[in-house]
Every structure is written in C-alpha cells, then in structure tokens.
A = this chain, B = another copy of it.
Amino acid sequence: MTKKTMRALVKTGPHRGAELQRVPIPEYGPDDVLIKVKTAAICGTDAHIYSWDDWSASRIKPPLVFGHEFSGEIVALGEGVKDLQIGETVTAEGHFTCNKCFFCRTGQGHICQDVAILGVDTAGCFAEYVRIPACNVWRLNEAIAPEIASIMDPLGNAVHTTLIDEIVGNNVLITGCGPIGLSAVAICRFAGAQKIMATEINDFRIDLAYKFGADFVYNPLKDDVVSEVLKQTDDLGADVLLEMSGNEKAINDGFTALRKGGWSALLGLAPGKVKMDINDGIIFKGAKVYGINGRKMYDTWYKMEALLLGGLDVGPLITHEFAVEDFIEAFELVLSGSCGKVLLNF
C-alpha cells in the first residue's frame, strides 16, 4: 500500500497558503495503525501555518502535510497492534509521547520531554490517510458522532482547562470565545456554573456563546468588562477566570475581575511577553493560576467521553463543512473568525 498515493493538503514552502497534492500514503510501523480520514477540522494552529506567521516560520519545515484534528476508520494495523481492529471508527490524541521520561512515567504525558505533534512534527491528517501510533488511537463510543469525534482534540483542551478545579456553583469569566472558549461555555453550563460571563469581539461568536449558555457576553471593544463582571457578582469578582485569548488586556482585565481567593486557568498563548500586575492580580488576591497544556493523556479523553455520553452537546460548535477541494475558502473563513469549527471532508 505504501507505494500508492493519496490526496493531501501540503504546506509547500515558507509562504502563505497550501496546496492540494498527491503524496505517498504514509508508511506505518509495527505499533502503528493507518487510518482513512473521513473528516478533519481546522485548528487555529493550522490557520497560523496556512498564513505563515512568525511561529510557523520558526517551527514548521515544509513540505509538510499538516492538520491534527480528525476522525476516520482504521484500515491497516501494524503487526504488533493487538487491541484495535480494522474497520473501527476512531480519532486520536495528536501528541506522540516518549513513554520513557519522568513525565510520561508519572501520568503527565501531556508535558512529555520529547513529544512529537501530529501535523507539526509528523505528517498530519489533512490527507486521505494518516499514520497514528496505536496507543494514541481513541476508539469511539458508538453514541458519539464522527463529526464530534473530529473536534475532540480542541474539546479536550476546553475540558482540561475548565475542569482543572471547581466549576459547580461558581461565577465564571471566559475571556475569548474561539472554539475552545465556546466549548468552555458549554462545559461550564453542563457542570453547574452559576453565572457564565464571556468576552468576545466577533458577533458570530458572541451569538454562539449565548447559544451555548453564556449569561452575558461582553465585547471588550465596547464594554467595560471589569465593571460589568463586578456588577454581576456583588462587587466580589468572578470566582473563576478561564483565559482563552492570550491577549494582554484580556489577561489583565481577567485578573482584575477575578475574586480574591479565586482560581484561573491560562490556555491562550500570548504573542509575546505579557505585562502583568501580579501584585493586585494574583498575590494580594491569594489567587491560584493553572497553566494548561494540551489534554491529559488520557484522563481528559475519558472525562470528555463521559461528558458527551452524559449529554454535553457541542454539535452547534460545528458551523461549516467543506469538501477538501474548497480548502482555501475554509481557511479564509477560519482566519475571519466568523465561525465555530470548520470541517474538511475527505
């Protein structure tokens, strides 16, 4: 099979854009599976690679098949793979870990010393076939639709971030309503948050945030976020801050609006260093801050499955689907921000 070719979206060089090309179907080792991709989803990271920003220039070595969010069907098994079967519908954790370092050996594979990332360090899933180590495959419960499975990677980020500490009964501020922030809104509602306050500048996403159960969505370009949050919380501030934007003002507003003794989880990456008021924002408050990286392997996946089986509905997060041929339109849409998750069908 390895001499055959497949269609794949290739980052061909250090410039904007990508090309739909025919490339060889990936080879796979004894502990790998080969998966026929049905649906892939476009991540913000993919949009960065497409538009070729500074981060991409420093990290990506073209040519590269990119993409890391998908679901599909197992079509071939390495000889050492015992617990999976051809024909199974699956998705996968895209962080391939070393399984030998301190972190991997203490249940912290998400911060492995020697990780390789699907579609960044290895050939990705924007292709008809993708190679995945068997231990990274996540077999789908039949109650979970394949499109939902294709967004379990970002949903996992939201689950990891949101459920790192107590949500039930708490007033939550979510800064930034991209797909992960929107998922966080849904998870907070599901988990019994009291008031869910969010910030977002894109109207399409503001509407989605309300649809997922936000009580208030503030536009930081128009609203005074800090005073609005204080107004909603008897001047105490939000019990919880979920930071999904990486924006300096959002971060500082977020910590200003955080209640004393409250907790915060940081997922959004900042474009550079961030000037923070740590005295008033963290120290005097006795606040707790969690940095969040990826998904816990595989605690987050089990929890995510439990939430979906328990009734968490993130279907409305998928707002657009494209045939892979229309990938340019899809990427431009993602870059516009006027969307939830955008899928590419293979």
* Interface residue ranges, A against B (CB under 8 Å): 83, 100, 102-103, 105-108, 110-111, 113, 163, 166-171, 190-195, 236, 251, 260-261, 266-267, 269-270, 273-279, 281-293, 296-299, 302-303, 306-307, 309-310, 312
> A276 with B279: in contact, given A191-B192, A195-B310, A284-B291 (CB under 8 Å)?
no
CB-nearest residue of chain B to A160: B286
Contact B108 A286 (CB under 8 A): yes
In the complex, the count of this chain's copies comes to: 4
With A and B bound together, what is the CA distance between A298 and B284 in angstroms? 18
Contact A106 B293 (CB under 8 A): no
Contact A261 B111 (CB under 8 A): yes
Contact B107 A108 (CB under 8 A): yes
Give the Cβ gap from A119 to chain B, nearest Cβ, in Å.
18
Residues of chain B within 8 A of A306, CB atoms compared: 169-171, 194
Contact B310 A169 (CB under 8 A): yes
Residues of chain B within 8 A of A110, CB atoms compared: 286
Contact B276 A287 (CB under 8 A): no
Contact B106 A298 (CB under 8 A): yes
Contact B168 A307 (CB under 8 A): yes
Kindly name the residue among A108, A169, A277, A289 whose own CB sees the greatest number of chain B CB atoms within 10 A.
Answer: A169
Contact A302 B102 (CB under 8 A): yes
With A and B bound together, what is the CA distance between A26 and B296 in angstroms? 38
Residues of chain B within 8 A of A288, CB atoms compared: 288-291
Contact A293 B284 (CB under 8 A): yes
Contact B194 A168 (CB under 8 A): no
CB-nearest residue of chain B to A101: B236
With A and B bound together, what is the CA distance between A234 and B63 in angstroms? 35
> Can you spell out 18 A-B residue pairs with CB atoms less than 8 angstroms apart?
A83-B100, A102-B236, A103-B260, A103-B261, A108-B261, A108-B286, A169-B306, A169-B310, A193-B310, A194-B310, A266-B282, A270-B279, A273-B275, A274-B275, A274-B278, A276-B276, A285-B291, A287-B291
Residues of chain B within 8 A of A279, CB atoms compared: 269-270
Residues of chain B within 8 A of A312, CB atoms compared: 192
With A and B bound together, what is the CA distance between A289 and B260 in angstroms? 14
